[in-house]
Structure formats: structure tokens, C-alpha cells
Amino acid sequence: MLHCALTFSENEMKIKYTIGYQTRDAKLVSILYNESFGQKFRLAIRNHEKRREVVHHLLNPRFCIAAYSGTHLLGVAGFQNAYGTLVKKASFRVLYQVLGFWSGLWAAFILLFYHRHIQYGELLLDGIANDPQCRGQGVGRGLLQEVLRYARDNNYDRVLVDVPDMTEKAKGLYLKHNFTIEPERGFVVWFKKQFRYLKSTRLVFDLKNSINSEKIINHFKD
């Protein structure tokens, strides 16, 4: 795990945000993602290291924004659009390779309920994962801002995020920055609410709202 010995402000750290991460950092991204969201997928894959290995197989660096300080990766914000996602849908071949037949079959079934559909003009934020030792340095907030800026500059109408109900702190971050709760309905939503690790709340940032656009420009200073 990367050790963030930096105790400076975001500007003093000279954080650089890029589309995608360096190939050499793929394993670190899988570690960060598993540490941040592993509990969310625990019902599908209980073993911590095997879960990380599956994530590693599924990563696509094109669909994220990465935060760097020099050559050190501080965190990533994955997203999904019409062309792909940071952690693509797991094929049974990958699950079988890592987990074996029966565990792979179980994981394939449960992971069906994590598949999310988006409409034209929507960008789905697939979570922000940063090194725990860098938290409080503005990295997560900066990644969120950059995702919203990316969405605005590429003419998306809305940014969506599904926040696990067990992470109230994360939900608070999004609500603080003008995301609103969007009720969901349907059988899949009902089914997910029967299991602790599947429960989530959908939040939405409306880029057509002039106040929201102004907040992006003003770097969330309010």
C-alpha cells in the first residue's frame, strides 16, 4: 500500500489529475478499489485476496480519473459511460479461473444484481478510492470535482452514483456537494434491499442546474 507521508494542503501537494492511470499502477488500483469497496462485493466473493484478483482482471484504465503527486498514485475515481467502465462486467471465465466452478457460479449470479443501466446523457460514478493515509488531504474531493468537470466538458446531463448504505460518510460527502437522492423502484431494487451488502442509495448531480455548474467552476468552495 502506498504510504502518503504528505501532510500539506492539496495545492502544496501539487496533485495532478489524469484520465486513466499508469499501467504499472494496475495492482495498486485493484488494492485501493478492494479496500474501499470490497465489503460491497462480499456477498459474491468472500475471500479478500481473491476479490482483489478478480478486480485486477477486470480493470480498464480508460474509464477513470487518477490523482498523482509526482509518480505516486494517490487515488482513482472510476466511471461508467456508454463505452465501458473501470471495472467491467465479470465473465464466468474470469470467475472460474480465480474462484473455481461452484464459487464462480455463485459469484456470477450475485454480481448480476450489481449491473447498472444508464441512459443517454448520464455518467455513472463508480466510486472514489484513495489511499487511507492520504485521506483528509483533499484527494477525494478533488477527484469528485474532476469527474464532474469531465462530465460537464463532455456534455453529460447527469452524474449518478450508487452509494452502499453501510457507508454513511460517503453519502454525506455527495449530499454536501449538491447531489440529491433519487428513489429507485422495481424487483431488482427490492431484492437488493433484502441483503445488507447489496443495499445502496442512488444519488444524482444535475449538470443542467446552473447552481451545480457554478459549484464546479468555483471548486466547491462553498
Query: What's the pLDDT at 6?
Result: 45
User: Does residue 105 belong to any structural domain of this protein?
Assistant: yes
Contact 143, 76 (CB under 8 A): yes
Residue that is written with C-alpha cell 431488482 in the block: 188
Which DSSP state fits 6?
-
User: Does residue 199 belong to any structural domain of this protein?
Assistant: yes
User: Does residue 4 belong to any structural domain of this protein?
Assistant: no
Contact 165, 199 (CB under 8 A): yes
Which residue range forms the structural domain that includes residue 43? 10-217
User: Does residue 5 belong to any structural domain of this protein?
Assistant: no
Q: What is the DSSP string of 128-167?
A: EEE-GGGTTSSHHHHHHHHHHHHHHHTT-SEEEEEEETT-
CATH number at 107 reads 3.40.630.30
List, run by run, the mean pLDDT of 10-residue segments along the chain (222 residues): 44 81 95 86 90 94 94 94 90 93 92 82 91 83 92 93 73 84 62 56 85 65 52
- For the chain, what is the domain count? 1
User: Does residue 210 belong to any structural domain of this protein?
Assistant: yes
Query: What's the pLDDT at 219?
Result: 60
User: Does residue 3 belong to any structural domain of this protein?
Assistant: no
Q: What is the pTM of this model?
A: 0.82
Query: What's the pLDDT at 9?
Result: 46
User: Does residue 1 belong to any structural domain of this protein?
Assistant: no
Query: What's the pLDDT at 2?
Result: 45
